[in-house]
Amino acid sequence: MAENTRKDDAQLKQQIQDLQTEVSRLRTENRRWAKLGHIDGANFILILYPGELETVRARVRTHEFPCADSVAQIAVSAGIHSV
């Protein structure tokens, strides 16, 4: 049982690392994304130039993120604030 738990933990860590690598790759492809920061848990902040929200949302929605031996798709839930 403990061996299975360690294996599951290792797989989860690898999946998280794979997703982080892919997000970093997406950020470098589009240098116009001003800032991406981690707030807490599953919450992040992405500061965009005007008019880029829908482009980023569509790109993330259709992107397949390599994740261990599979692929994952993630969703974006966004709020907008103007400064």
Residue 41 resides in a domain: yes
Residue 79 resides in a domain: no
Residue 50 resides in a domain: yes
Quick one: tokens of 76? 């974006």
User: Which pLDDT score, from 0 to 100, does residue 32 have?
Assistant: 59
Residue 77 resides in a domain: no
Residue 80 resides in a domain: no
- Using a 10 angstrom Cβ sphere, with 0-12 exposed, 13-18 middle and 19 or more buried, the burial of residue 77 is exposed
Residue 83 resides in a domain: no
Quick one: tokens of 59? 């790109």
Domain count across the chain:
1
User: Which pairing describes strands 43-47 and 35-40: parallel, antiparallel, or unpaired?
Assistant: antiparallel
Residue 15 resides in a domain: yes
Tens digit of each residue's pLDDT, the chain (83 residues): 566 677 777 877 777 777 777 777 766 766 555 677 778 877 777 777 777 777 777 877 888 877 777 887 777 777 776 66
Residue 40 resides in a domain: yes
- Check: CB of residue 48 under 8 Å from CB of residue 31: no
